[in-house]
């Protein structure tokens, strides 16, 4: 028995295409429409604009269709296609490669019995539920990512901040000092630093206890934040000792700041419970010497000047010339 296509003359194929309800279109390898039969033309008029094969499919299926086009092999599959009333319907689809590199696409709507329709509706509900769950999962993942980034930022801040005074901790203030020395060398700019120590702090702890001593440290740190310039950087260097960095500042500017800090702190009263405590500070100042100092020699000079202020009677500042 001969095959049907052997019995149909070529001049009747076009007439056959135009009189069947199956949608047929010829496309190139990119999916651009070249020609189509009457059934596809009616569909195209009702759903314009349609310029490429992917336009008739749902958004989430278009990548798969383009992949099939690029493969240029014979394909047969079932897919949803946007129907004339705007709702998707299932179609039996086929893609047939031609000898000239183009492809013939056919789509026949799947007729449904009541039972089949119920099955399709149930599957559609499941698909919709899966999509909603996927979007919900994406949202949860995004929220978790934001939450994780927030936790990481907080963790970095905790790692950089002294928990008692909320100034930079020792590691970070030394790191900032190293960076400022590099910047001063690069731009040949002035840099001064001050080491500040609370006078007789051990006596405060021994007399009133460590809780009161902690409050004294917090109040001194508050004065330090309140009476330094915005570009300056302050940190707790250790115990009752603080380090202040003054970028683009010479000894005169650093001395003016030290004088102001000594005066403000000595005039303030630390009120803790029933105790009224007066404290003073001693400050040592040094300016970075280009081609002589490193960050640690600069720090040592400032520290030595602070101890000189202690020996000279405390509640004062001394400059290392």
Q: Which residues are catalytic?
A: 240
Q: Residue 48: how many CB atoms within 10 A of its CB?
A: 9
Q: Residue 75: how many CB atoms within 10 A of its CB?
A: 17
How many angstroms separate the CA atoms of 21 and 37, rounded? 9
Query: Angle 217-263-199 (CA atoms, 0-180°, nearest 5)?
Result: 45
Helices vs strands, H then E, count in the chain? 10, 12
How many angstroms separate the CA atoms of 153 and 298, rounded? 32
Q: Residue 63: how many CB atoms within 10 A of its CB?
A: 11
Q: Residue 99: how many CB atoms within 10 A of its CB?
A: 5
The answer, yes or no, to whether the previous bond of 210 is cis (omega within 30 of 0) is: no
Identify the CA nearest to 195 among candidates 163, 234, 221: 234
**Contact between residue 308 and residue 284 where contact means Cβ atoms under 8 Å apart:** yes
The bridge status of strand 75-82 relative to strand 281-287 is unpaired
Residue 253's region, left for phi above 0, alpha for psi from -120 to 50, else beta, is: alpha
Cα–Cα distances (Å) from 272 to 22, 211, 215, in that order, read: 90, 9, 7
**Contact between residue 205 and residue 275 where contact means Cβ atoms under 8 Å apart:** no
DSSP state of 47: T
**Contact between residue 181 and residue 297 where contact means Cβ atoms under 8 Å apart:** no
How many angstroms separate the CA atoms of 4 and 24, rounded? 19
């Amino acid at each position: 028995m001969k095959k049907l296509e052997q019995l149909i003359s070529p001049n009747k194929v076009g007439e056959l295409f135009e009189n069947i309800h199956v949608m047929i279109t010829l496309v190139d390898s990119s999916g651009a429409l070249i020609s189509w039969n009457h059934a596809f033309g009616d569909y195209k008029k009702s759903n314009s604009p349609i310029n490429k094969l992917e336009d008739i499919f749902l958004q989430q299926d278009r990548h798969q269709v383009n992949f099939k086009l690029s493969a240029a092999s014979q394909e047969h599959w079932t897919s949803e296609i946007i129907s004339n009333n705007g709702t998707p319907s299932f179609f039996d689809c086929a893609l047939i490669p031609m000898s000239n590199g183009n492809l013939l696409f056919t789509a026949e709507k799947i007729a449904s019995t009541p039972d089949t329709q119920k099955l399709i509706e149930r599957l559609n509900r499941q698909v919709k539920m899966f999509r909603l769950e996927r979007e919900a999962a994406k949202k949860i993942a995004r929220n978790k990512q934001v939450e994780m980034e927030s936790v990481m930022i907080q963790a970095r801040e905790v790692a950089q901040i002294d928990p008692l005074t909320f100034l930079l901790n020792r590691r970070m203030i030394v790191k900032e000092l190293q960076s400022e020395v590099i910047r001063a060398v690069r731009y040949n700019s002035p840099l001064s630093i001050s080491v500040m120590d609370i006078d007789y702090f051990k006596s405060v702890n021994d007399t009133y206890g460590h809780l009161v001593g902690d409050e004294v440290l917090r109040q001194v740190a508050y004065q330090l934040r309140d009476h330094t310039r915005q570009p300056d950087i302050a940190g707790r260097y250790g115990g009752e000792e603080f380090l202040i960095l003054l970028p683009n500042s010479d000894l005169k500017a650093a001395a003016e700041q030290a004088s102001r800090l000594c005066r403000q702190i000595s005039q303030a009263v630390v009120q803790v419970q029933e105790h009224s405590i007066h404290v003073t500070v001693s400050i040592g100042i040094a300016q970075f010497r280009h081609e002589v100092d490193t960050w640690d020699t600069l720090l040592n000079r400032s520290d030595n000047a602070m101890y000189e202020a202690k020996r000279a009677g405390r509640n004062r500042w001394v400059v290392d010339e």
